[in-house]
Amino acid sequence: MTLPGAVPPPDDSTDAGVAWHYGDPFAEQRSAARSVVVVDRSNRGVIAIPGEDRLKWLHQLTSQHFEQLGEGTATEALILDAQGRLEHHMVVANVGGTVFLDVEKVDDLLTYLKRMVFWSKVEPRDATAEFALLTITGPETPTLLEKLGIPMPSDVAALGEGFVRRASWPGRDAVDLLVPRAELAGWWQRITDAGARPAGSYAFEALRVESLRARQGIDTDERTIPHEVGLIDPAVHLNKGCYRGQETVAKVHNVGRPPRRMLLLHLDGSADAQPETGDPVTLDGRVVGRVGTVALHHELGAIALALVKRSVPVEAELIAGAPEREVPARIDPDSVPADTPGLGREAVRNLRG
């Protein structure tokens, strides 16, 4: 969608097709923290699954308990391989007799879903050309929705052919709107006229990193299991029946020792270059992790998500980046899971005590 003032992303961006920013990405972030912004996320893929067997069928294929997913409810779900490694991450809404999945990429997931239909009464289809996603976030979101005549949902509510869905991030008050793609420009105008500041992917990605939310294919690699990137709580039902990869999920959950943890790194912002996705994280010359999303935050400065070996101490002096763009990095202690022995807030207290 082409909008007035929109600056397109760099050619190598993973967010082609949506605005990078609207002239001042740091002001956009501040507005998200203090008032309200709207972000065009219409580059997300959408899969629609109507059919009377949709919940039972998805229950058998995914990590989530779809049979408990009532009308007008939302969740997240994963499809894993036999070793429990992450293949697909989906944000879910069950509304109006259809399950909607918004995902990073449609093709491989849709191919897999269609292959698994067999005799089930479901009709998965690529609905990306039909629908587009907008995210509204900030403390003034409820007031904005009231101006638009949209009640703040407790979970998911129908919105014409699409829906409005309560989001768990970024910030306490955030919603996703799935709207007909043909009406996207009209919805954008209505939302901005009601007082939301336009914000681009530059700002949204910084807020996502601050929220410690992994993005598949950027903050994950071919070895990632859900425990490493904070996806157990939102996307895995630990008491449901058998699904592919469940044995690994249960074992690692019970033992509590995933090999890596996704952490927030504070980067040296004075450097001429910054690390890129996929670059190594090293400690004393030894590779101990992988850089995911790198962002510039309006308060935190240069930050990144990284998959780091569980044994790395919280006080470690790390280096992030390939040789030509190495920068010093340190772990944000508040990003370290509390169940990691020797790391996290307790370790910091011990160090300071």
Domain 45-126 has CATH 3.40.50.300: no
Q: Convert the pLDDT of each residue in 196-228 to its tens digit.
A: 999 999 999 999 999 999 999 999 999 999 999
The CATH T-level fold of domain 260-338 is Elongation Factor Tu (Ef-tu); domain 3 (2.40.30)
Distance, CA of 192 to CA of 52 (rounded, Å)? 38
What distance in Å separates the CA atoms of residue 61 and residue 81, rounded to the nearest whole number?
Answer: 11
Query: Is 250 exposed, middle or buried, given 0-12, 13-18 or 19+ CB atoms closer than 10 A?
Result: middle
33-90 pLDDT, tens digit each: 999 999 999 999 999 999 999 999 999 999 999 999 999 999 999 999 999 999 999 9
Are 74 and 155 in contact by the 8 Å Cβ rule? The answer is: yes
Task: Find the mean pLDDT for residues 232-241.
Answer: 92
**Which residues neighbour 172 within 8 Å (Cβ) at sequence distance 6 or greater?**
139
Q: Burial of 251 by CB count in 10 Å (0-12 exposed, 13-18 middle, 19+ buried)?
A: exposed
Pairing of strands 86-95, 174-180: unpaired
Buried b (16+ CB within 10 A) or exposed e, 5-44: ebeebeeeeebeebbbbbeebebbbbbbbebbbbbbbbbb
- Per the CB < 8 A criterion, the answer to whether 240 and 307 are in contact is no
- The domain spans of the chain are 25-44+128-211, 45-126, 260-338
Q: Tell me, what's the pLDDT at 1? A: 61
Q: Exposed/middle/buried for 285, CB within 10 Å: 0-12, 13-18, 19+?
A: exposed
Which one-letter amino acid corresponds to residue 281? V
Indicate the CATH number of 25-44+128-211 among 3.40.630.30, 3.30.1360.120, 3.90.1300.10, 3.90.470.10: 3.30.1360.120
**Tell me: the pLDDT tens digits for 271-304?**
788 999 999 999 999 999 999 999 999 999 999 9
Coil vs helix vs strand at 332: coil
Give the up-direction half-sphere exposure of residue 69: CA atoms within 13 A in the CB hemisphere.
Answer: 32
Strand partners, 90: 77
Q: Is the pTM of this model over 0.95?
A: no
d(CA 320, CA 225): 22
What's the CA gap between 337 and 21, in Å, rounded? 32
CB of 235 within 8 A of CB of 272?
A: no
Q: How confident is the model at residue 339 (pLDDT cuts 50, 70, 90)?
A: low
